């Protein structure tokens, strides 16, 4: 196997025996084969789009199929088989609709027939490894950047589609990008263009997701979330999916079970229509990479929605349930939004046996809230009370070096504001940083899925100060881990945002030449130390 799509890849170069994430070689090969099957479908769908043919069900499929290959989503080999077969069936249906395919009709991917069993599929997957698609190292690097970015785009588009928000332009880009990765005639400039358009497609996907969440559940409002617990039966919800949470809240109403969030579900407490449920109690635990310790200690059932799942320890495997695209062999998968098995398990388990108050943390500082106090913020900047804004966020992870972000926030001067989002916030989310004239110094914008909200805040500030985002007293200090982060980074670059500091390490799939291009064009920088970076930014 070879996989280098995430930040924790082995030795900073690639996982070759087994994934650091726990991914087995057969799953790695099946994921690559699913991407190859989706590329065949994309070649046809891209041609179809030129003839004005687009099929929404095919678009929704491509989102799910590609999202399934994202880091920490699905480790269950058997679940990839129907997806591979379906990609081929959809390719055949679309081919029949399109008729003549023109110049690319001799592509091998259009003749691909899946093997009859998993062993055969794995062998086919090994022959179509995602890391071996171009002999030119720099083009290979950009191809992987685009392919991994597309995985992130598909994830956001799928999240949005679950709540009814869909735009065919996102799928159209995915088809073009996946189909283009099969070509060997595109030069570096064409690949840079595809990477920037990946960022733009992702902005559209995130805009759809923002509309999906806020139209379904209202704009987040500032909300104090208890980190303690209360006596009683309990279910913990992790992952990213608001609709699954709402469904569970409805199905547990009146059953004497409290619902707690874990990881990226924390910001859900700020949504008016979710916080209205009396048994939606508080937050438990921190980021995804701590789930083995935290889930083992949780005295109830655990529902894992989409990424990021880790190999469950035997001690809590009977308590963990997966839903949506997430999967782990041996964990019960609920595929039909009927969470009665989760509820039954929660009622069997002891639940919390006492009340522990604990501290609380504040969420709900998404674009609507922050823009609602824009006048106060602008006055504070003009009066010199706010010197600088930092966006410190992104993915968390297990590798050493991530305490940089904790230290950075601790050392940021008291006249600076920290905006944060995604699970990187758990490095400092419970710190009391005080306020500046009533504006909290630590503002939780939301999940990684809410990066759109942070972008809108930056654009609104730039508008208010009549300058570009790069002229604002704003610095982006980002941490990355998986492919949603690649998509977000491409979005920021496609918007022309410069001077991003990125860590804890740079992607293994970026070659020195591509890095040199990014540095020269976007002034992107690796993080150094909090002291050095603060000095460089603030002088
Ligand atoms: S997803 Fe990351 S940790 Fe898992 S196999 Fe790939 S590079 Fe390794
Ligand atoms: S921010 Fe990234 S690493 Fe963290 S839970 Fe979300 S998808 Fe996973």
CATH label of the domain that carries residue 19: 1.20.1270.20
Ligand 1 lined by 453 (C-beta under 6 Å): no
331 and 410 both lie in a single domain: no
- Indicate whether 358 belongs to any domain: no
Ligand 1 lined by 3 (C-beta under 6 Å): yes
Distance from C-alpha of 60 to C-alpha of 94, rounded to nearest angstrom: 14
CA angle 476, 411, 505 (to 5 degrees): 45
Ligand 1 lined by 19 (C-beta under 6 Å): yes
Atom of ligand 2 nearest to the CA of 70: 7
- Indicate whether 278 belongs to any domain: yes
Provide the Cα torsion 154, 158, 164, 170; round to 10°: 0
Distance from C-alpha of 208 to C-alpha of 195, rounded to nearest angstrom: 20
Among 348, 380, 401, the domain-final residue is: 348
106 and 52 both lie in a single domain: yes
Which residue has tokens 């569970």?
248
389 and 344 both lie in a single domain: no
- Indicate whether 362 belongs to any domain: no
- Indicate whether 502 belongs to any domain: yes
172 and 259 both lie in a single domain: no
Pick the closest to residue 222 from 459, 444, 494, 524 (CA basis).
444
* Nearby residues of 400 by Cβ (< 8 Å), 6 or more positions away: 504
Q: CB-side exposure of 78: number of CA atoms within 13 Å?
A: 5
Ligand 1 lined by 18 (C-beta under 6 Å): no
From the CA of 28, how far away is ligand 1's center (Å)?
9
Q: Taking phi first (over 0 means left), then psi (-120 to 50 degrees means alpha), and beta for anything else, what does residue 295 get?
A: alpha
378 and 316 both lie in a single domain: no
Encoding tokens for residue 340?
């009665």
φ, ψ for residue 322 (rounded to 5)?
A: -110, 155
Q: Name the 3-class secondary structure at 439.
A: strand
- Ligand nearest to the backbone CA of 421: 2
Q: Taking phi first (over 0 means left), then psi (-120 to 50 degrees means alpha), and beta for anything else, what does residue 52 get?
A: left
From the CA of 264, how far away is ligand 2's center (Å)?
7
From the CA of 507, how far away is ligand 1's center (Å)?
12
- Indicate whether 65 belongs to any domain: yes
Atom of ligand 1 nearest to the CA of 28: 5
Distance from C-alpha of 414 to C-alpha of 394, rounded to nearest angstrom: 22
Which of 325, 396, 446 to mutate to test ligand 2, by most ligand atoms within 8 A of the CB atom?
396
DSSP state of 349: S
Ligand 2 lined by 91 (C-beta under 6 Å): no
210 and 231 both lie in a single domain: no
92 and 178 both lie in a single domain: yes
Ligand 2 lined by 423 (C-beta under 6 Å): yes
277 and 317 both lie in a single domain: yes
Encoding tokens for residue 531?
């002291």
Cα distances (angstroms) measured from residue 527 to each of 173, 387, 388: 32, 21, 18
Instruction: Quote the number of domains for the chain.
Output: 3
- Indicate whether 353 belongs to any domain: no
* Nearby residues of 258 by Cβ (< 8 Å), 6 or more positions away: 229, 230, 232, 233, 234, 235, 279, 280, 281, 282, 352
Q: In whole angstroms, how large is the CA radius of gyration of the chain?
A: 23
For position 51, what pLDDT does the model report? 87
**Which amino acid residue places its CA nearest to atom 3 of ligand 2?**
395
- Ligand nearest to the backbone CA of 7: 1
pTM of the entire predicted model:
0.96
Cα distances (angstroms) measured from residue 35 to each of 28, 32, 353: 11, 5, 47
- Indicate whether 360 belongs to any domain: no
Distance from C-alpha of 71 to C-alpha of 86, rounded to nearest angstrom: 22
Distance from C-alpha of 87 to C-alpha of 67, rounded to nearest angstrom: 14
DSSP state of 228: S
Atom of ligand 2 nearest to the CA of 397: 3
Ligand 1 lined by 469 (C-beta under 6 Å): no
Tell me the pLDDT of the chain (539 aa) as tens digits.
Answer: 999 999 999 999 999 999 999 999 999 999 999 999 999 999 999 999 988 999 999 999 999 999 999 999 999 999 999 999 999 999 999 998 887 665 556 789 999 999 999 999 999 999 998 877 678 999 999 999 999 999 999 999 999 999 999 999 999 999 999 999 999 899 999 999 999 999 999 999 999 999 999 999 999 999 999 999 999 999 999 999 999 999 999 999 999 999 999 999 999 999 999 999 999 999 999 999 999 999 999 999 999 998 899 999 999 999 999 999 999 999 999 998 999 999 999 999 999 999 999 899 999 999 999 999 989 999 999 999 999 999 999 999 988 889 999 999 999 999 999 999 999 999 999 999 999 999 999 999 999 989 999 999 999 999 999 999 999 999 999 999 999 999 999 999 999 999 999 999 999 999 999 999 999 999 999 999 999 999 999 98
Ligand 1 lined by 29 (C-beta under 6 Å): no
Cα distances (angstroms) measured from residue 257 to each of 264, 298, 326, 355: 21, 14, 24, 14
Distance from C-alpha of 67 to C-alpha of 74, rounded to nearest angstrom: 9
CATH of residue 342's domain is 3.40.50.2030
Ligand 1 lined by 186 (C-beta under 6 Å): no
Residue 344 contacts residue 332 (beta carbons within 8 Å): no
Among 184, 216, 248, the domain-final residue is: 216
339 and 422 both lie in a single domain: no
- Ligand nearest to the backbone CA of 17: 1
Alpha-carbon torsion 49, 54, 58, 62, what sign?
Answer: positive
- Indicate whether 356 belongs to any domain: no
Residue 208 contacts residue 165 (beta carbons within 8 Å): yes
**Which amino acid residue places its CA nearest to atom 2 of ligand 2?**
395
Neighbour tally for 13: CB within 10 Å: 11
Ligand 1 lined by 71 (C-beta under 6 Å): yes
Ligand 1 lined by 5 (C-beta under 6 Å): yes
Range of 140's domain? 10-216
From the CA of 503, how far away is ligand 2's center (Å)?
15
Pick the closest to residue 490 from 208, 198, 170, 204 (CA basis).
198
Encoding tokens for residue 171?
């799928």
297 and 385 both lie in a single domain: no
φ, ψ for residue 185 (rounded to 5)?
A: -105, 5
Which of 1, 2, 7, 9 to mutate to test ligand 1, by most ligand atoms within 8 A of the CB atom?
9
pLDDT, tens digit, for every residue of 133-163?
678 999 999 999 999 999 999 999 999 999 9
211 and 234 both lie in a single domain: no
476 and 508 both lie in a single domain: yes
DSSP states of 251-315: HHTTTTEEEEE-GGGGGGGG-HHHHT-TTEEEE----GGGHHHHHHH-SSEEEEESS---PPPTT
Atom of ligand 1 nearest to the CA of 3: 6
Among 216, 238, 259, the domain-final residue is: 216
**How distant is the alpha carbon of residue 535 from its chain centre?**
31
Encoding tokens for residue 63?
């989102």
* Nearby residues of 384 by Cβ (< 8 Å), 6 or more positions away: 415
Atom of ligand 1 nearest to the CA of 9: 7
Ligand 2 lined by 70 (C-beta under 6 Å): no
Residue 223 contacts residue 280 (beta carbons within 8 Å): no
For position 102, what pLDDT does the model report? 57
For position 104, what pLDDT does the model report? 56
Is 94 exposed, middle or buried, given 0-12, 13-18 or 19+ CB atoms closer than 10 A? buried
Distance from C-alpha of 537 to C-alpha of 532, rounded to nearest angstrom: 9
Distance from C-alpha of 144 to C-alpha of 331, rounded to nearest angstrom: 31
């Amino acid at each position: 196997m070879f996989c280098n799509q995430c930040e924790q890849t082995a030795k900073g170069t690639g996982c070759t025996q087994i994934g650091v994430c726990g991914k087995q070689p057969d799953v790695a090969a099946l994921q690559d084969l699913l991407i190859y099957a989706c590329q065949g479908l994309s070649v046809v769908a891209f041609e179809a789009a030129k003839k004005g043919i687009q099929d929404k069900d095919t678009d929704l499929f491509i989102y799910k199929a590609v999202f399934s290959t994202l880091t920490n989503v699905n480790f269950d080999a058997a679940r990839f088989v129907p997806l591979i077969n379906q990609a081929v069936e959809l390719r055949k249906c679309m081919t029949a609709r399109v008729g003549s395919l023109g110049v690319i009709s001799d592509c091998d991917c259009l003749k691909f027939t899946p093997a009859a069993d998993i062993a055969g599929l794995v062998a086919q997957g090994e022959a179509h490894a995602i890391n071996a698609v171009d002999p030119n190292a720099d083009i290979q690097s950009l191809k992987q950047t685009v392919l991994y970015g597309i995985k992130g785009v598909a994830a956001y588009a799928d999240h949005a589609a679950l709540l009814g928000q869909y735009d065919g332009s996102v799928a159209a880009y995915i088809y073009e990008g996946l189909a283009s990765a099969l070509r060997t005639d595109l030069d570096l400039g064409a690949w840079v263009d595809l990477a920037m358009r990946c960022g733009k497609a992702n902005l559209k996907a995130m805009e759809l997701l923002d509309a999906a969440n806020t139209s379904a559940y209202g704009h987040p409002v500032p909300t104090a979330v208890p980190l303690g617990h209360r006596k009683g039966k309990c279910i913990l919800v992790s992952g990213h999916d608001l609709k699954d949470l709402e469904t569970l809240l409805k199905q547990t109403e009146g059953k004497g079970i409290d619902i707690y969030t874990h990881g990226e579900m924390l910001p859900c407490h700020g949504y008016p229509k979710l916080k209205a449920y009396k048994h939606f109690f508080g937050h438990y635990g921190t980021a995804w990479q701590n789930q083995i310790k935290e889930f083992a200690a949780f005295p109830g059932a655990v529902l894992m929605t989409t990424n990021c799942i880790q190999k469950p320890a035997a001690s809590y495997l009977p308590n963990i349930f997966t839903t949506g695209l997430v999967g782990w062999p041996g964990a019960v998968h609920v595929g039909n939004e009927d969470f009665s098995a989760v509820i039954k398990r929660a009622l069997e388990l002891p639940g919390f046996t006492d009340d522990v108050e604990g501290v609380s943390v504040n969420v709900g500082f998404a674009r609507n809230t922050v823009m609602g106090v824009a006048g106060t913020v602008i006055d504070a900047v003009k009066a010199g009370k706010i010197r600088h804004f930092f966006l410190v966020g992104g993915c968390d992870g297990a590798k050493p070096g991530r305490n940089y972000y904790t230290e950075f926030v601790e050392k940021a001067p008291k006249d600076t504001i920290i905006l944060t989002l995604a699970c990187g916030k758990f490095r400092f989310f419970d710190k009391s940083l005080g306020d500046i004239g009533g504006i909290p110094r630590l503002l939780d914008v939301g999940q990684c899925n809410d990066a759109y909200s942070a972008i809108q805040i930056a654009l609104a500030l730039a508008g208010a100060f009549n300058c570009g985002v790069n002229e604002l007293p704003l610095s982006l200090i980002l941490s990355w881990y998986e492919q949603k982060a690649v998509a977000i980074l491409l979005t920021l670059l496609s918007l022309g945002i410069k001077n991003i500091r990125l860590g804890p390490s740079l992607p293994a799939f970026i070659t020195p030449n591509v890095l040199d291009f990014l540095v020269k064009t976007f002034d992107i920088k690796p993080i150094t130390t909090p002291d050095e970076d603060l000095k460089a930014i603030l002088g």
